[in-house]
Amino acid sequence: MQINKTKKQKRILSVMLLSAFICICWSNTLAAQSANPSKQISNVSSTTSSDGPNDPKELEKFCDDFFKKYMEKDSVPGAIISVVKNGQILLKKGYGYADLKNKVPINPDKTAFYICSIGKLFTGTAVIQLYEKGKIKDLNDNVNMYLKKIKVNNKFTNPVTFSNLLTHTSGLDEGSVIGGASKTKDEILSYEDYLKMKLGSVLREPGSFTRYSNLGYNLLGYLVEGISEMPFRDYIKTNILEPLGMTNSTAGEIPDNLAIPYIFDGTTMQPSTSEINLPGLGEGCIYSTADDMAKFMIAHLQNGRYKEKSILKAETSKLMHTQQFTNNPVLPGMCYTFMQSYDNNQKAIKHEGGDASGYISTLYLLPEYNIGFFVEVNTLSTLPITFESEFLDHYFPRETGKVQYFAGYKQRNSDYTGIYRSYDDISVTTLLKVMALFSNDGEMKILNSKEGALFMHSTSFEGNPIATKLIQTGDLILKRQDDNSDIVFQKDKQGNTAYAFNNEPQKTFEKIHWYETRDFNFITLTACMLIFIFNIIGITFSFFRRKNKKKESSLTKLELASNATLWSVCMLNVISMIAFVLLLMTATYEIQYGLPLVGYISISGLLLGAVLSIGIIVFCVLLWVKRQKTLSSRIIYTISAISCSVFIWFLNYWNLLGFKLQ
């Protein structure tokens, strides 16, 4: 059996916080500067001569202090870390507990964690191995050439290639998490059947922009399986785990020594014990220990070699670690699976992971210094990401430099203002598009102040508001004042600013219209629900009041029919919407077995309400034409009819009209 591992499996708010978090890559880049500055502000440049940790005792003290501070702060049950340098393990250690109830301590050699999306590095390594062996002729080959029973539906000129999938530039829509899982191990779908259900269409020209994609890596895992003629799990075990001596790691099988994941319920840490049966997928199916992950890091830092074993040749290892795509040359880009980072002006490659069941992880390599570290916790805490920055600040500190304004920046502010949204890891063609509505950090607002300065507003993983001044340092390049990272914009063919990119190389923000924003849609939904509830109460109250006074006949047939239809639609809309939201909040794992009955009922209710809303519009016209009801009542009915029409638009925009499950 396999723990539920997709980022969209917790309650919808937590899921989107996590889906956004899994990919967080804070980085710092050198800004393009104008030769004619008008002002200066503080910036960061690296002048350190440090080559990182050398003394194991000093490193252990640094780690002990760090984990003591942040595990207490975030109530983290357990954590593991391994640090390697020059082919040796400098430190491997466990902190806290793998099992809180039974006080089982973390053992860095034996305690396994689900490493989440870091497992994609194993998928990427497998693809590069097959390329190295000649079984994949060219990484720029159309993957449909290698697919026999399923094909990628691509209407664009450029084909979807291995390179596209490895760099998250395939343009594929993300797969829906509804269905595909089995309730018993014996009923697990084959990889092929799973992809037949999940594989959607290409929505963007391949190779144009990045968009983090679990589905893309699931397709890569299926390709590995087909090309190697081995089950994907067996291939990973035979060609990566066994050669590296990762004897306490598994691919797709939950080990007995697994650290229990925990979720904070507001007062205490509760074990997250839900399990789900899925194929061993390329998006991440690896369980590993601190010791085993040290071996994997050493192999990648040593050009594919660990001791006497090799999983990659030097040239293909270097190819995997080299930038293959970037949304803009100013920003860090995508290697094959690895993501670049320029934090503290150090060139690093990394991958982070997270799972809604209660795991967060990071694997961070500094090839220039032959250093790497792996950190994971068994709860939803940003501790591993915080470790990245504190490790770099401790061993590779930054010093203050200067950055300059770009001449004429005030005249250019209007080019950037607006709201930008990222659809990373969200299926935009299914009803789960609604997850973007609950994504805290899925939108980025660029606003112009009265003083003429630009500000960015967004939300952190923890849900805290972020507001920082932006300084223009080049054409279409802005620098955040709070962390000195860059935001770069790109115009469309019509010359309008349409895209924004930050230091997360796997992410693209698209400029959206005002009526697409979260704020507008939340206001719209709230207003519609209030009007519907007002109508339910008002019509119900009027009905019983007339009944008590025996005035049923005081209303015409048109008035009775119009009231009955409006009451029915409002009741359907309110009950169905509440039921659907509660389903997404509470059916943490159940929706992966398929949409529960309450889901079908709520979607049916919304669809029926939309159909009956046509009758409300007809009744509204008739009431005005025949001048039935009082003037105030007709106005209220008109407002209600407009609300029903707006609600239909809302449902349609978020793919909630009909059963768009896959």
**Predicted confidence (pLDDT) per residue in 513-527, tens digit:** 999 999 999 999 999
User: Cβ distance 463 to 438 under 8 Å?
Assistant: no
- Distance CA(38)–CA(440), nearest Å, equals 36
Q: Which two tokens stand for residue 527?
A: 């207003």
Can you give the pLDDT at residue 410?
A: 58
- Distance CA(216)–CA(202), nearest Å, equals 11
- Distance CA(198)–CA(174), nearest Å, equals 8
Can you give the pLDDT at residue 472?
A: 87
User: Cβ distance 206 to 160 under 8 Å?
Assistant: yes
Can you give the pLDDT at residue 19?
A: 39
The structure's pTM equals 0.87
The C-alpha angle with vertex 502 and arms to 497 and 508, in degrees rounded to 5, equals 60
The C-alpha angle with vertex 228 and arms to 222 and 232, in degrees rounded to 5, equals 45
Using the 8-state DSSP alphabet, how is residue 580 labeled? H
Report which of 638, 580, 578, 567 is spatially closest to residue 609, judged by C-alpha positions.
Answer: 567
Can you give the pLDDT at residue 50?
A: 79
- Which segments of 205-286 does DSSP mark as H helices, in order? 214-228, 232-236
* Sequence-distant (≥ 6) Cβ neighbours of residue 354 within 8 angstroms: 7, 18, 21, 22, 116, 117, 360, 361, 380
Report which of 365, 352, 113, 375 is spatially closest to residue 248, judged by C-alpha positions.
Answer: 113
User: Chain-wide mean pLDDT for the chain?
Assistant: 87
Alpha-carbon distances, residue 268 vs 74, 76, 215, 561 (angstroms): 12, 11, 34, 53
- Distance CA(78)–CA(64), nearest Å, equals 13
Mean pLDDT of 259-278: 82
- Distance CA(524)–CA(515), nearest Å, equals 9
Per-residue pLDDT reduced to its tens digit, 489-542: 999 999 999 999 999 999 999 999 999 999 999 999 999 999 999 999 999 998
Mean pLDDT of 119-133: 98
Mean pLDDT lowest among 8-17, 58-67, 232-241: 8-17
Using the 8-state DSSP alphabet, how is residue 45 labeled? E
Q: Are strands 104-105 and 88-99 parallel, antiparallel or unpaired?
A: antiparallel
Work out the pLDDT band at 640, boundaries 50, 70, 90: very high
Work out the pLDDT band at 265, boundaries 50, 70, 90: confident
Q: What are phi and psi of 552, to 5 degrees?
A: -60, -35
Name 276's bridge partners: 2
Per-residue pLDDT reduced to its tens digit, 319-332: 999 999 999 999 99
What CATH architecture is 403-514?
Beta Barrel (2.40)
Per the model's pLDDT, the better-predicted residue between 108 and 47 turns out to be: 108
Tell me how crowded residue 232 is: count the other CB atoms within 10 A of its CB: 27
Fold matches, 2-402 and 403-514: no
Mean pLDDT of 156-163: 97
Per-residue pLDDT reduced to its tens digit, 77-111: 999 999 999 999 999 999 999 999 999 999 999 99
Name 444's bridge partners: 420
Using the 8-state DSSP alphabet, how is residue 85 labeled? E
> The tokens 């967004």 sit on which residue?
458
Mean pLDDT of 29-51: 39
Using the 8-state DSSP alphabet, how is residue 172 labeled? B
* Sequence-distant (≥ 6) Cβ neighbours of residue 385 within 8 angstroms: 21, 24, 26, 352, 360, 362
- Distance CA(99)–CA(260), nearest Å, equals 6
* Sequence-distant (≥ 6) Cβ neighbours of residue 84 within 8 angstroms: 90, 294, 297, 298, 301, 371, 372, 373
Q: CATH 3.40.710.10: does it fit domain 2-402?
A: yes
pLDDT at position 487 over 60: yes
> In the chain, what percentage of residues exceed pLDDT 90?
67
Using the 8-state DSSP alphabet, how is residue 88 labeled? E
Q: Per-domain residue ranges for the chain?
A: 2-402, 403-514, 518-653
